[in-house]
Amino acid sequence: MRRTRKVSSSHPAVKSIPQRTCVACRQVRAKKELVRLVRTRGGDIEIDVSGKKDGRGAYICPDPECWESAMKGKQLEHTLRCNLTQDNREQLARNGKDLLKEIASA
């Protein structure tokens, strides 16, 4: 004889919110609150606005201080498992600055 589990209706299912850690300040936040950088299969480093691009990802707070810290240190390289060239860093800094302005104005 099969037994079925009785589901309690007093405790509705709670959907978990994905959490990620900023590579600069190490603060844990909801995934949607952070900006994702991704290393694509081709080795390019891009800002992933959708959060769904294929590749190795790293997350940064939408805070100029965190952004600068991530671009200067080695944390980003360690998380993405690659070496960033000076050109990569400059391009990410420019694109990041534009993105942070968009986020601040929204």
3 confidence band (pLDDT: 50, 70, 90): low
Which domains, ranges and CATH numbers included, belong to the chain? 19-105 (3.30.1230.10)
Q: b/e per residue, 78-92, with b = 16+ CB within 10 A?
A: ebbeeebeeebbebb
Average pLDDT, the chain: 88
pTM: 0.82
Give the pLDDT score at 9: 60
16 has a pLDDT exceeding 70: yes
For 53-84, write each residue's pLDDT tens digit. Answer: 999 999 999 999 999 999 888 999 999 999 98
Give the pLDDT score at 11: 65
27 has a pLDDT exceeding 80: yes
Query: What is the SS3 string spanning the chain?
Result: CCCCCCCCCCCCCCCCCCEEEECCCCCEEEHHHCEEEEECCCCCEEEECCCCCCCEEEEECCCHHHHHHHHHCCHHHHHHCCCCCHHHHHHHHHHHHHHHHHHHHC
7 has a pLDDT exceeding 60: no
